[in-house]
Amino acid sequence: MFCIVAFVILSILGIFSATNRSLAKEALDCVLRRVTLRPCNTGFDEKMKARILGSVITRSENAARLINSHFELLSWTFFILMFASSIYAVRSSYLFYVTGSCNGLNQTAFCVLDPQGSSNQISGIDETCKVKPTTAADLTLSGVNLTDFPIMNSNSKDTIVMIGSYGCDYTRKAYPLVRELVDKSKASFIYLDYPVKEKTDYLSRVGFCVAKQDPGKYWQFNDTLFAADKAKLEDVSFIEETLTGLGMDSKAIGFCASDPQTQATVTQQLDQILKTNFYGTPTVFINGDPLIGPKPYRVYAIKLRGLWYW
């Protein structure tokens, strides 16, 4: 098995060295003969063994004797380690492709393909009153009343529910990708605004009033807020200009947003959102399965329709 390990290593080194490319060719010939149960006729394994022992003996005769006595065993050991690490690398690459993490969906352990954990970043909510910290396993839409929230493509068999915050950088990263998927798949879409980064629920109240006055304009309003400069989100004049630009009565919307009944209704909606046990934005449920953090577009698409769709 030494020739297999040597072939892999020398092939990599051969990128930078002509000598190693020549040795890699000999190693390949040895590999092809060994897999057909024939001995290497090039003497490659003995040649490399001699080189290794020659290098080691100048440093330690005892180590050289040990390697010489157990060369075949050491070869098998390195082969097994290489094989196991290759399987792990392939598994990690596959998981990263379909979930955005080397460790699986919603797993936050270190991933060499995403060292900064950008696919799992969230703006967290205050959990100081909770006895037990919430985990991904606790997330659910069961028992959550979503009938009072605006819905796009209500007749679709697929449903995407996104919990986000207009002022959350991670939500702002994920939102256009989710909207793109909704446009392509025609899945039902519900956006649940929870003001994690905003100082008040003002935008939630305005959004409620926009949907009440013209449900179709609600999605245009939503898209505009996510595309706008984040610093303007709590600027009342900017919101009024946005509403006017959408052809809506900004004064009527403002009056509705300040109505105590609107405040009470929005508070009830926020309570419904909390029933999902979400602990940060963005959290996206695709047909009931949660994805936490701003995933790449392919992850959302694969989760909705499978690998073939992406």
Q: Domain holding 289: CATH number? A: 3.40.30.10
Residues 203 and 224 sit within 8 Å (Cβ to Cβ): no
Both 65 and 151 in one domain: the answer is no
Both 128 and 263 in one domain: the answer is yes
116 located within any domain: no
Both 256 and 298 in one domain: the answer is yes
Both 179 and 245 in one domain: the answer is yes
Number of domains in the chain: 2
Look at residue 178 in the predicted model and tell me its pLDDT: 97
Look at residue 133 in the predicted model and tell me its pLDDT: 56
Look at residue 112 in the predicted model and tell me its pLDDT: 84
CB neighbourhood size of 127 (10 A) = 12
* Proportion of the chain above pLDDT 90, given as a percent: 54
For the entire predicted model, the pTM comes to 0.78
The burial of 178, by beta-carbon neighbours within 10 Å (0-12 exposed, 13-18 middle, 19 or more buried), is given as buried
Both 77 and 170 in one domain: the answer is no
Look at residue 6 in the predicted model and tell me its pLDDT: 59
Domain that holds residue 175: 121-305
Both 178 and 301 in one domain: the answer is yes
Look at residue 131 in the predicted model and tell me its pLDDT: 43
The burial of 114, by beta-carbon neighbours within 10 Å (0-12 exposed, 13-18 middle, 19 or more buried), is given as middle
Kindly give the parts of the chain with pLDDT less than 50: 127-131
Q: Could you tell me which of 292, 309, 307 has the C-alpha nearest to residue 174?
A: 292
Both 21 and 127 in one domain: the answer is no
186 located within any domain: yes
User: Helix axis angle, 61-69 relative to 71-99, nearest 10°?
Assistant: 80
Alpha-carbon gap, residue 265 to 258, rounded angstroms? 12
Look at residue 40 in the predicted model and tell me its pLDDT: 59
55 located within any domain: yes
